[in-house]
């Protein structure tokens, strides 16, 4: 929340500097109306600033649509299967009997995952911030993880797991403006404390950073990550032993990050600029898996995997990495205000 508040202040400051104004529409100042003199108003909502076409942003919100679009455009993607809630599956098949084999149900999901090959990633098809995301190693755990993912969406994605280093790459107006690596949150043993105690300390750290995960020890994602490592909450770690407490690396759940903006290889700068143009987004964040984003790939046809595209990325987490990232983010919002003014005055299209 603190990151979003800072983003909002930056946007308001730069819009006012250009002679515009922002009218906030709710007490939380989450929805807003941006207006420039003699221009048409632009509506925004959270980190959806109104600079992307609604159709392109809607496709980006759907992980399976995004994967299909990227594959159609020639970008490497991972094998996937869609799992529908029984009621949704029945409705779809009732209307389209020929699609009965196109989707999985909770009953058929383990066999579908086995065909993809374990480990697989289970995740809601249209959620954000790592909600309901699991890495699953064996069929016996799959149904429980799918049920948990169903808490966030009626459609769940099973995807082949891809090893490598994960990055978030932010593209704005045709240029890579920020990039950072992401790694899963961990706890480090002290030889005395149980994992439950160590996680509780991490929760306190998250709270201090404005990340609200008060019931982390009840989160099935944590239980799954510990089980994959042969650990339990009452396990005592040796001093210096490191254990992942979640499989996903989202910064919103306390994952760690390292700034790579100045080190992105020219090949990848061109790659992501082209990808953003191809999917029709002025502002977006790519979650990307590869060996090393600082070097051109040995095989240009296998540069890595775009895991997801966020059409309304929150850059607040990146700004927390230091003074230079904060300057970068300030520059992004300055240019964002310029683009909003040009869209408002009809000089540019979203």
Residues 142 and 86 in one domain: yes
Lowest mean pLDDT among 232-236, 325-329, 341-345: 232-236
C-alpha to C-alpha distance for 17 and 341, rounded to whole angstroms: 11
pLDDT (0 to 100) of residue 319: 85
Does the pLDDT at position 141 exceed 70? yes
Q: Considering the domain boundaries, does residue 291 fall inside one?
A: no
Confidence band, pLDDT 50/70/90 cuts, at residue 167: very high
pLDDT (0 to 100) of residue 17: 96
Does the pLDDT at position 2 exceed 70? no
CB 187 within 8 A of CB 245: yes
Model confidence pLDDT, tens digit, residues 96-121: 999 999 999 999 999 999 999 999 99
Cα distances (Å, whole numbers) of residue 54 to 29, 223, 336: 21, 37, 17
pLDDT (0 to 100) of residue 337: 97
Query: 3-state DSSP helix/strand/coil percent for the chain, to nearest 5?
Result: 40, 20, 40
Q: Considering the domain boundaries, does residue 28 fall inside one?
A: yes
Residues 145 and 203 in one domain: no
Residues 98 and 155 in one domain: yes
Instruction: For the chain, report the end-to-end CA distance as a whole number of angstroms.
Output: 27
Model confidence pLDDT, tens digit, residues 79-90: 999 999 999 999
Q: Considering the domain boundaries, does residue 252 fall inside one?
A: no
Does the pLDDT at position 342 exceed 90? yes
Does the pLDDT at position 1 exceed 90? no
Residues 92 and 155 in one domain: yes
Domain coverage including residue 115: 79-161
Residues 157 and 189 in one domain: no
pLDDT (0 to 100) of residue 346: 93
Residues 148 and 194 in one domain: no
Q: What are phi and psi of 263, to 5 degrees?
A: -110, 0
Residues 90 and 150 in one domain: yes
Q: What is the CATH number of the domain that holds 125?
A: 3.30.1490.20
Residues 116 and 149 in one domain: yes
C-alpha to C-alpha distance for 178 and 170, rounded to whole angstroms: 5
Q: Considering the domain boundaries, does residue 172 fall inside one?
A: no
Lowest mean pLDDT among 12-26, 124-138, 155-169, 258-272: 124-138
As a whole number, the mean pLDDT across the chain is: 90
Q: Considering the domain boundaries, does residue 296 fall inside one?
A: no
Q: Considering the domain boundaries, does residue 157 fall inside one?
A: yes
Does the pLDDT at position 144 exceed 80? yes
Q: Considering the domain boundaries, does residue 232 fall inside one?
A: yes
Q: When comparing pLDDT for 208 and 160, which is higher?
A: 160
Confidence band, pLDDT 50/70/90 cuts, at residue 130: confident
C-alpha to C-alpha distance for 135 and 71, rounded to whole angstroms: 23
Model confidence pLDDT, tens digit, residues 187-245: 899 999 998 888 888 778 777 766 555 455 457 788 888 888 888 888 898 999 998 88
Residues 96 and 148 in one domain: yes
pLDDT (0 to 100) of residue 113: 97
Residues 145 and 90 in one domain: yes
Does the pLDDT at position 326 exceed 70? yes
Q: Considering the domain boundaries, does residue 332 fall inside one?
A: yes
Average pLDDT over residues 24-51: 94
Model confidence pLDDT, tens digit, residues 275-298: 999 999 999 999 999 999 999 999
Residues 83 and 157 in one domain: yes
How many structural domains does the chain have?
Answer: 3
């Amino acid at each position: 929340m603190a990151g979003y508040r800072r983003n909002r202040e930056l946007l308001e400051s730069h819009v006012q500097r250009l002679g515009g104004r922002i009218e906030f529409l709710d007490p939380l100042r989450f929805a807003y109306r941006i207006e420039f003199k003699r221009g048409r108003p632009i509506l925004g909502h959270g980190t959806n600033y109104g600079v992307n076409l609604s159709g392109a942003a809607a496709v980006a919100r759907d992980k399976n649509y995004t994967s299909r679009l990227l594959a159609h455009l020639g970008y490497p993607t991972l094998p996937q299967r869609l799992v529908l809630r029984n009621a949704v599956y029945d409705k779809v098949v009732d209307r389209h009997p020929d699609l009965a084999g196109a989707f999985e149900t909770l009953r058929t999901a383990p066999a579908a995952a086995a065909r993809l090959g374990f480990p697989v990633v289970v995740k809601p098809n249209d959620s954000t911030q790592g909600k309901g995301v699991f890495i699953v190693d064996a069929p016996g755990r799959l149904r429980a993880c799918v049920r948990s993912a169903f808490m966030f969406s009626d459609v769940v994605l099973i995807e082949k797991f891809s090893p490598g280093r994960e990055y978030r790459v932010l593209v704005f107006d045709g240029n890579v403006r920020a990039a950072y690596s992401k790694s899963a949150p961990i706890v480090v043993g002290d030889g005395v404390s149980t994992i439950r105690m160590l996680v509780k300390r991490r929760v306190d750290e998250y709270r201090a950073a404005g990340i609200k995960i008060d019931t982390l020890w009840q989160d099935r994602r944590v239980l799954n990550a510990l089980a994959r490592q042969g650990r339990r909450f009452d396990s005592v770690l040796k001093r210096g032993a490191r254990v992942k407490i979640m499989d996903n690396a989202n910064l919103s759940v306390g994952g760690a990050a390292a700034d790579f903006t100045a080190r992105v290889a020219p090949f990848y700068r061109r790659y992501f600029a082209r990808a953003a143009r191809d999917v029709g987004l002025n502002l977006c964040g790519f979650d990307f898996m590869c060996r090393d984003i600082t070097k051109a790939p040995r095989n240009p046809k296998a540069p890595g995997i775009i895991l997801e595209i966020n059409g309304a990325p929150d850059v607040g987490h990146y700004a927390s990495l230091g003074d230079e990232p904060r300057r970068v983010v300030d520059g992004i919002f300055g240019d964002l205000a310029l683009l909003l003014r040009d869209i408002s005055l009809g000089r540019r299209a979203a």
